[in-house]
Amino acid sequence: MAESTEVRKLVYLVTGGCGFLGEHVVRMLLQREPRLSELRVFDLHLGPWLEELKTGPVQVTAIQGDVTQAHEVAAAVAGAHVVIHAAGLVDVFGRASPKTIHEVNVQGTKNVIEACVQTGTRFLVYTSSMEVVGPNIKGHPFYRGNEDTPYEAVHKHPYPCSKAQAERLVLEANGREVRGGLPLVTCALRPTGIYGEGHQIMRDFYHQGLRLGGRLFRAIPASVEHGRVYVGNVAWMHVLVARELERRAALVGGQVYFCYDESPYKSYEDFNMEFLGPCGLRLVETRLLAPYWLLMLLAVLNALLQWLLRPLLLYAPLLNPYTLAVANTTFTVSTDKAQRHFGYEPLFSWEDSRTRTIRWVRAMEGSAQ
Ligand SMILES: NC(=O)c1ccc[n+]([C@@H]2O[C@H](COP(=O)([O-])OP(=O)(O)OC[C@H]3O[C@@H](n4cnc5c(N)ncnc54)[C@H](O)[C@@H]3O)[C@@H](O)[C@H]2O)c1
Ligand SMILES: CC(C)CCC[C@@H](C)[C@H]1CC[C@H]2[C@@H]3[C@H](O)C=C4C[C@@H](O)CC[C@]4(C)[C@H]3CC[C@]12C
């Protein structure tokens, strides 16, 4: 915990505070926000690790709740100075219905905004996603673009559609009068693919590699760049922008920021190998054996099987036409907007981020090393 002479008087609420990113935001706030007096952690499923946080100088209040329930959200928001809304249903695999995704991501966000307005909370940070922009379904590359780069954002999939709608609601709410008469100040952060300790898909790839005798098979050309950002830096960006929303309301309010750091530009699989390689896995070159049309055929078959089996069981493999299109389309960002607007610099270097992630993979059960 950071010791500080600053007065602790602020109440923060983190929705989705027990998720992959949310846990890092919660821990980062406790370490790096010296003005914090109470931290409310709101989630559908509370993590047992919250208990160990309750012994420090900040009051940590765990709230089991559902963002789709307006009254639960309003009760959690009442009296908070800042809300970081990271709760969301992250599903591009067809596990949840489009209706459920919409309810959690769009209606849930509406509930958070209305709760701020009704209870007088003035500062709201929304965790958006790069998918609000793309990749689009036409496969257009977004090569090291920034927040102002023109791009034809065309969404069909429920997850990016819901994130785009929710982001729009948050940005439109900037300037609304909250209880007490002051204006609401909002902004949205758009992470690219987040990685780091706790990343479920990295875990899945690692275990798949172990099952395949320490091998993974390349499916995507190495030339396709996929944007990635370390979870600690994404968390840090949330903490920093939340702090600066008050001081720089005119500049930051209503803005969007991509989340970025020094992580290298690589293909999705080559990037994963930065961590999985040192943990004993190798990437086998099979691109000639698995051309794009064959992968697309498998992806379509998976989608068909998912649909056929739905009455009996949930079949939701990583490969489907949408995930294949995302993984196979260059989407990378290069920007300094967060640095210019609120002084963001990555807290973790690429070396730190890599070392921490490798340490986490190595600590997983069944390590190949
Ligand atoms: N993981 C990524 O690569 C990535 C990239 C860009 C943006 N994001 C965004 O970051 C946010 C966090 O994603 P994550 O990767 O940590 O996912 P996650 O699934 O690990 O975390 C989401 C959390 O939200 C909670 N939640 C879900 N439905 C809820 C509900 N109805 N009420 C209350 N809580 C609910 C979950 O229990 C979970 O703890 C999401 O909004 C996601 O869209 C994630
Ligand atoms: C073709 C297969 C072998 C590889 C499949 C990989 C696939 C599961 C990965 C590739 C890209 C990943 C997405 C990307 O990193 C960004 C995001 C944005 C975020 O808001 C939610 C997660 C998501 C969609 C990642 C999901 C997993 C993807 C599609």
pLDDT per residue, tens digit, the chain (369 aa), is 444 556 879 999 999 999 999 999 999 999 999 999 999 999 999 999 999 999 999 999 999 999 999 999 999 999 999 999 999 999 999 999 999 999 999 999 999 999 999 999 999 999 999 999 989 878 899 999 999 999 998 888 999 999 999 999 999 999 999 999 999 999 999 999 999 999 999 999 999 999 999 999 998 999 999 999 999 999 999 999 999 999 999 999 999 999 999 999 999 999 999 999 999 999 998 766 678 899 999 999 999 999 999 999 999 999 999 999 999 999 999 999 999 999 999 999 999 999 999 999 999 865 555
Give the chain's domain count.
Answer: 1
Q: Whose CA is nearest to atom 30 of ligand 1?
A: 66
pTM recorded for the entire structure: 0.96
- Residue 369 inside a domain? The answer is no
Q: Whose CA is nearest to atom 13 of ligand 2?
A: 193
> Nearest ligand to the C-alpha of residue 329?
2
Residue 289 · residue 80 · CB < 8 Å: no
Cα distances (angstroms) measured from residue 97 to each of 90, 94, 100: 12, 7, 5
Distance 329 CA to ligand 2 centre (A): 11
The residue with tokens 């991501």 is 105
DSSP for 119-156, written as a single string: HT--EEEEE--GGGT---TT---EEEE-TT--------
Cα distances (angstroms) measured from residue 140 to each of 27, 149, 153, 209, 264: 37, 13, 10, 30, 21
> What is the ipTM for the molecules in this complex?
0.98
Residues 6+ apart with CB under 8 A from 102: 158, 161, 162, 165
Distance 326 CA to ligand 2 centre (A): 6
Distance 19 CA to ligand 1 centre (A): 6
Distance 330 CA to ligand 2 centre (A): 12
- Residue 15 inside a domain? The answer is yes
- Residue 25 inside a domain? The answer is yes
- Pick from 357, 351, 339: which is nearest to 273 by CA? 357
- Residue 100 inside a domain? The answer is yes
Residues with CB under 6 A from ligand 1: 16, 18-22, 43-45, 66-68, 86-90, 104, 108, 127, 129, 163, 191, 193-194
- Residue 84 inside a domain? The answer is yes
> What is the CATH number for 20?
3.40.50.720
Which of 13, 14, 15, 21 best tests ligand 1's pocket when mutated (most atoms within 8 Å of CB)?
21
Other CB atoms within 10 Å distance of the CB of residue 191 = 25
* Atom of ligand 1 lying closest to residue 23 CA: 16
Question: How far, rounded to the nearest angstrom, does the alpha carbon of residue 195 sit from its chain's CA centroid?
Answer: 9
* First CA to last CA distance, the chain: 33
Which of 20, 21, 268 best tests ligand 2's pocket when mutated (most atoms within 8 Å of CB)?
268
- Pick from 98, 75, 101, 97: which is nearest to 87 by CA? 101
Distance 78 CA to ligand 2 centre (A): 35
- Residue 110 inside a domain? The answer is yes
Ligand 2 close to Cβ of residue 92 (< 6 A): yes
H/E/C letters for each residue in 174-233?
CCCECCCCCECEEEEEEECEEECCCCHHHHHHHHHHHHCCCEEECCCCCCCCECEEEHHH
Distance 7 CA to ligand 1 centre (A): 31
**Which residue segment(s) compose the domain that 41 sits in?**
10-199+228-264+333-351
Ligand 2 close to Cβ of residue 201 (< 6 A): yes
- Residue 282 inside a domain? The answer is no
Tell me the β-bridge partners of 331. 142, 226
Which of 318, 326, 331 best tests ligand 2's pocket when mutated (most atoms within 8 Å of CB)?
326
Ligand 2 close to Cβ of residue 164 (< 6 A): no
The interaxial angle of helices 350-362 and 268-276, nearest 10 deg, is 70
